[in-house]
Chain A
Amino acid sequence: MRWRNILAEMQNVPGEDRGRVILYALSTCGWCARTKELLTDLGVGFSYVYVDLLAGEERDRVVREVEHWNPRLSFPTVVFGDAKVIVGFREDEIREAVGA
């Protein structure tokens, strides 16, 4: 994906490099919050974006990206290294994906 385009909207959480990890989230969602907490606790470096806080073209672009990985456009959607996608707060799967 054209991931360079979305860097501007992304917040980066520093941590161990386990490949590119992107969390698409909503700022109001409890499951997104838990997913963000889990990734933080696991000490993995990742980027996240609150799609509900975006507007206009920026939002349209990020929405298309999420739909590319997850056509239902649901949250949280976590993309690992442009290959693996986990939809929802699936704790065991997320741990496994980052090798924790």
Chain B
Amino acid sequence: MPDAVSDGEVDRLMQDLAEEAEAGGYHLNPDEGFTCDLVRGLLANRERYGYISCPCRLASGDRDDDLDIICPCDYRDPDLSDYGACYCALYVTADVEGGERAAALVPERRPPPAERRRRKEERAAADRAPGTLNYPVWRCRVCGYLCARNVPPEICPICRVPRDRFERFM
């Protein structure tokens, strides 16, 4: 493992993540050694980039380009539904946590670089499009929370990610 991250820091973040997860109906991987290494990777990335990007994906170091892979990533919830775990397997479903079934291998859902650039342009265009609604509707890209107001909330009230993880929905 790279970069000097203290065991105390790892334990603290792991405990915070576990508490947040349980409060929101999510579950950390019960394989403590494996999870501990992932949290160490998150902290190494925070040290390098200033944010906890996914330990199992190559970050660019540009926050805007890496937004979709800052943990919890945009792909966690669909991967939990389809495979019982997120891509790096930090998060698992309740039945996987309880040992009732094993998580499947999770293929990479994040689009390749060229496709990401195209979608980003589409989103920017959607943000600018004039609407016929009284308020624009914003969608949290992490948990799907929707709200109709002039700007998205500073922090998603459901999953706690910051405003820049929202996209224009309607």
Contacts and interface: CB of A to CB of B under 8 A. Distances in A.
A72 B57 contact: no
A13 interface: no
Interface stretch (B15-23, B102-110, B137-145, B161-169): B102-110
Interface in A53-83: 53, 63, 67, 71-75
Interface string B119-144: 00000000000000000000000000
Q: Report the contact-size class of chain B (Cβ under 8 Å from the partner).
A: 20 to 34
B112 to A, nearest CB: 5
Interface string B3-42: 0000000000000000000000000000000100110111
A71 B45 CA distance: 23
Q: Report the contact-size class of chain A (Cβ under 8 Å from the partner).
A: 20 to 34
A30 B41 contact: yes
Interface string A19-40: 0000000111111110000000
Contacts of B110: 72, 74
Contacts of B88: 29-31
B113 interface: yes
Contacts of B45: 28
Interface string B52-75: 000111110000000000000000
B2 A75 contact: no
A75 B58 contact: yes
Contacts of A27: 1-2, 41, 44
Contacts of B112: 67, 71-73
A89 B105 contact: yes
A51 interface: yes
Contact of A26 (B34, B42, B55): B55
B89 interface: yes
A45 B35 CA distance: 29
Interface of B: 1-2, 34, 37-38, 40-42, 44-45, 55-59, 88-89, 105, 107-108, 110, 112-113
Interface of A: 26-33, 50-53, 63, 67, 71-75, 87-90
24 contacts: A26-B56, A26-B57, A27-B2, A27-B44, A28-B40, A28-B42, A28-B55, A29-B41, A29-B88, A30-B38, A30-B41, A30-B55, A30-B56, A31-B89, A52-B58, A52-B59, A71-B112, A72-B110, A73-B58, A73-B112, A73-B113, A87-B107, A88-B107, A90-B105
